Amino acid sequence: MEKLRKITGYSLLFVSCIAYGVIPIVPFMSLEADVKTAWVAGVFIFAQITWWVAVLLLGKEFVDWSKRIWRGFKAWFKSS
């Protein structure tokens, strides 16, 4: 059960990141402005939902991952 939770959590996190990556592409599609707005809003809501469900599923793993990434950013900025 623990393995399924982690696989589902990381999968949702990946899907959320892909959805966020789609948002900047939508304005360049050949659609009308109102359709583009609807697409961006829908993708954003979908990305938010999948992100937070992944955070809830991963819990401690997500916090540890976030801390590790933050420490990396801090070290990179200090070295610059």
Mean pLDDT of 6-22: 95
Q: What is the DSSP letter of 20?
A: H
Q: For residue 20, which of 42, 43, 37, 39 has the smallest C-alpha distance?
A: 43
Asked if residue 30 has pLDDT above 80, the reply is: yes
pLDDT mean over 26-50: 96
Average pLDDT over residues 59-64: 89
What pLDDT score was predicted for residue 24?
96
Using DSSP, how many helices (H) and how many strands (E) does the chain show?
3, 0
